[in-house]
Amino acid sequence: MSNNPLLKFDELPDFPNIKAEHIEPAVTSVLEQNKQALAELTADEALQRNPQWQTLMGPLEDMEDRLSKVWSTVSHLNAVNNTAQIREAYNKCQPLITAYYTELGQNRALFELISALNAQAESLELSGAKRKVLQDYLLEFRLAGVDLDPEKKKKFADLEAKLSDLTTKFSNNVLDSTMAWSKHVENLDELAGMPEASINTAAELAQSKELTGYLLTLDAPCYIAVSTNADNRALRQEMYTAYQTRASDQGGHNPKFDNAGIIVEILDCRAQLAQLLGYSNYAEVSVARKMAKSVQRVNEFLEDLISLAVPAAKREYEALKQYAKKEHAMDSLEAWDVAYYSEKLRKSSFDISQEELRPYFPLPKVQEGLFTIASKIYGIEIVPNQQMSRWHEHVQAFDVCRDGALVARFFFDVFTREGKRSGAWMAECRSRRLLGDDKVQTPVAYLVCNFSKGSKEAPALLSHNEVTTLFHEFGHGLHHMLTSEIDLRCSGINGVAWDAVELPSQLMENWCWDKEAISLISGHYTTGAALPDAMLEKLLLAKNFQSGMKTVRQLEFASFDFKLHQLAGPYSQAIVNETMSGVRALTSVYAVPAFNRFQNGFSHIFAGGYAAGYYSYKWAEVLSADVFSVFARTGVFNQETGQKFLNSVLSKGGSDEPLELFKNFMGREPSLDSLLRQDGLLK
């Protein structure tokens, strides 16, 4: 067992030597150790008489960190290197992890120890961060059913186990359905209008499969290239249909990947969990942990934004229809036409397109500029680390330093490939904490995107939208890496309310729209020439192009999620579909085909952490727009402002309520006006 690379807790993961067969033994070993340590802790009579932070929370933190080091590595490999063997091992261990945390949350003896420590927090002069950790712990106990009678505890645990299994199946079905679909194209004429780089990537993929011509997939870069640029309307329709029906019984997909029934089961489990805890619905459970605090407040927030955004979106769509009719003789637009003609309208209105910008945003230049921007704002230095082991040849690793001292590390895995989950995210590899020997554990982050890796002719060339995605994830990474907290449960993003966790990521996107910042992240991939002033002006002028339509799209997702989780159950496929239809009636400005099954691939809420919380993106956008208004006023590279944000919010993690941290920086509560002004929606 000592040779198991997953159990080398004092080192970073040795990825080349981690095999699927290491996973189950490592997980079971740590769980057994933790359960034994927990039993000894709760049986300690001296601790029961006089609980102290170091003697109670110290061992608990050791247990949590040990398990996190194993499971975060396993979860990461399952997401970025999803082989059949790794998936099987992950699926075997997921129920064990769920059962462990359910038992922990329902451990009455531990709850009473932490309650006793919390009761004397003031007399012990515990820091505000430690008090917040204790309060968060006690809330988690209650939301895990610690107060339930034994019969209800058993039912709660069974529901949690079932829910864990269902969400894993949902995620696997989306990945498998996506990977199973491809379209082989032999005639280049069928790809007319598509960017040369996308065509080259499709040709290389076909060649790798020993096929002639071109191979199209549902990976995001390929799907976006077709839907936005392909002149072939039938191809756009085929790709739209395939993408929007993933993991469903529509679109010709394998029915074994259909998530419709799984969605119903997931929702029923959540509703039953809520009712066991004494809540009316799962939305109430969700907001108990969040900055918003109440279901009514979230509903009012979404309703306010819908009322402001829908009129603008309707005007934008009417303009799109008129343009398509006048310039392209299109009497009616279908869903698969919207992105295509929107891009043509952008080009017509601003003489700029995403594809024209790509040559000026080669990944190496964007990455270099991103690091420079972070350095200017927060006084850090980012340098390559060639010694850290990697799970794929395309992965990069870096050290983050301040004043010559190492403060964090991170991995960059930004290219799409087979066996890798779609989307973009940040995840924890290691979290900052004070170790027993008074050393501080260095935080380490995984930063993951899914860009095309480029071709023999050119490096990866990013659209401006992809640049903002990279900045977004890096913002999450900074939140994790630049924390100053030393208690595991509040360092980095730990303990941060889910509707505030997007603040640093949304904030970083703003530098993608600043002239001075763009000069650092752009340069032609062949000549190094700066983005011409004329193109830069057009890019900035086009910033709020169809901002109303973009906003209502996000509000559609958020409202569907939140309305769905306010129902008491039992659920049915009809209820899910009717909820989606009802939301679209309020938010959509064009008809969505009846076969559309977006919800079947909505991993954020059915397999991620955003259940009854997808509104968090817009909620945090209000916060980030407000914060950036200060940078805009004082200078986007003003280190005094950057240091104040770092000290007030970014480094504080979950050590205080997010509203208090926000007010420490802004001096007031959030205002919707900054976001409306930023998006061009303020009247």
Q: Which CATH number characterizes residue 87's domain?
A: 1.20.1050.40
Closest CA to 500 of 378, 623, 588: 623
- Taking only the tens place, the pLDDT of each residue in 129-166 is 999 999 999 999 999 999 999 999 999 999 999 999 99
| Residue 442 DSSP label | P
At residue 458 the predicted structure's pLDDT band, cuts being 50, 70 and 90, is confident
Residue 513 included in any domain:
no
At residue 276 the predicted structure's pLDDT band, cuts being 50, 70 and 90, is very high
Cα 499 to Cα 165: distance, rounded to the nearest angstrom: 25
Q: What is the mean pLDDT of residues 295-303?
A: 98
Cα 235 to Cα 191: distance, rounded to the nearest angstrom: 8
User: Using an 8 Å Cβ cutoff, are 233 and 221 in contact?
Assistant: no
User: Using an 8 Å Cβ cutoff, are 397 and 384 in contact?
Assistant: yes
- Taking only the tens place, the pLDDT of each residue in 49-86 is 999 999 999 999 999 999 999 999 999 999 999 999 99
At residue 28 the predicted structure's pLDDT band, cuts being 50, 70 and 90, is very high
* Per-residue three-class SS string for 299-367: HHHHHHHHHHHHHHHHHHHHHHHHHHHHHHCCCCCCHHHHHHHHHHHHHHHHCCCHHHHHHHCEHHHHH
Please check whether residues 563 and 590 belong to one and the same domain. Answer: yes
Alpha-carbon separation of residue 487 from 106, 482, 549 (angstroms): 22, 14, 42
Residue 457 included in any domain:
yes
Last residue of a domain, one of 257, 288, 318: 257
Q: What is the mean pLDDT of residues 607-621?
A: 95
Please check whether residues 414 and 309 belong to one and the same domain. Answer: no
Please check whether residues 381 and 277 belong to one and the same domain. Answer: no
What is the distance of C-alpha 680 from the center of its chain? 25
Other Cβ atoms closer than 10 A to 231: 13
- Taking only the tens place, the pLDDT of each residue in 662-678 is 999 999 999 999 999 99
Residue 645 included in any domain:
no
Q: What is the mean pLDDT of residues 328-341?
A: 96
Residue 164 included in any domain:
no
pLDDT at 25 over 90: yes
Q: For residue 210, indicate whether it is catalytic.
A: no
Output the pLDDT for position 560: 98
Question: b/e for 302-338, b at 16 or more Cβ within 10 A?
Answer: beebbebbbebbeebbeebbebbeeeeebeebebbbb
CATH number of the structural domain spanning residue 598: 1.10.1370.10
Residue 644 included in any domain:
no
Report which residue type is found at 617: Y
Residue 636 included in any domain:
no
How many structural domains comprise the chain? 4
Please check whether residues 82 and 11 belong to one and the same domain. Answer: yes
Q: Which of 61, 64, 473, 556 is catalytic?
A: 473
Please check whether residues 215 and 201 belong to one and the same domain. Answer: yes
What is the distance of C-alpha 619 from the center of its chain? 15
Please check whether residues 210 and 77 belong to one and the same domain. Answer: no
- Cα dihedral value 243, 248, 250, 251, nearest 10: 30
Please check whether residues 493 and 553 belong to one and the same domain. Answer: no
- Taking only the tens place, the pLDDT of each residue in 31-47 is 999 999 999 999 999 99
Please check whether residues 372 and 493 belong to one and the same domain. Answer: yes
Question: How is 64-131 classified by DSSP, letter by letter?
Answer: HHHHHHHHHHHHHHHHHS--HHHHHHHHHHHHHHHHHHHHHHT-HHHHHHHHHHHHTTTTTT--HHHH
Last residue of a domain, one of 257, 279, 294: 257
Supply the range of the domain harboring residue 106: 5-147
Asked whether the CA dihedral 227, 232, 234, 238 is positive or negative, the reply is: negative
CATH number of the structural domain spanning residue 453: 3.40.390.10
Question: How is 619-652 classified by DSSP, letter by letter?
Answer: HHHHHHHHHHHHHHHH-TT-HHHHHHHHHHTGGG
Output the pLDDT for position 351: 93
* Per-residue three-class SS string for 590-615: CCCCCCCCHHHHCHHHHCCCCCCCCC
pTM here?
0.94
Please check whether residues 332 and 368 belong to one and the same domain. Answer: no
At residue 683 the predicted structure's pLDDT band, cuts being 50, 70 and 90, is low
Please check whether residues 316 and 418 belong to one and the same domain. Answer: no
Residue 104 included in any domain:
yes
pLDDT at 116 over 70: yes
Last residue of a domain, one of 229, 257, 285: 257
Closest CA to 343 of 235, 239, 469, 229: 229
At residue 457 the predicted structure's pLDDT band, cuts being 50, 70 and 90, is confident
Please check whether residues 186 and 267 belong to one and the same domain. Answer: no
Strand, coil or helix: 405? strand
Residue 474 included in any domain:
yes
For 42-46, the CB contacts below 8 A with 24+ separation are 42/107, 42/109, 42/110, 42/113
Q: Mean pLDDT for the chain?
A: 96
Place of tokens 């290197």: 81
Please check whether residues 234 and 268 belong to one and the same domain. Answer: no
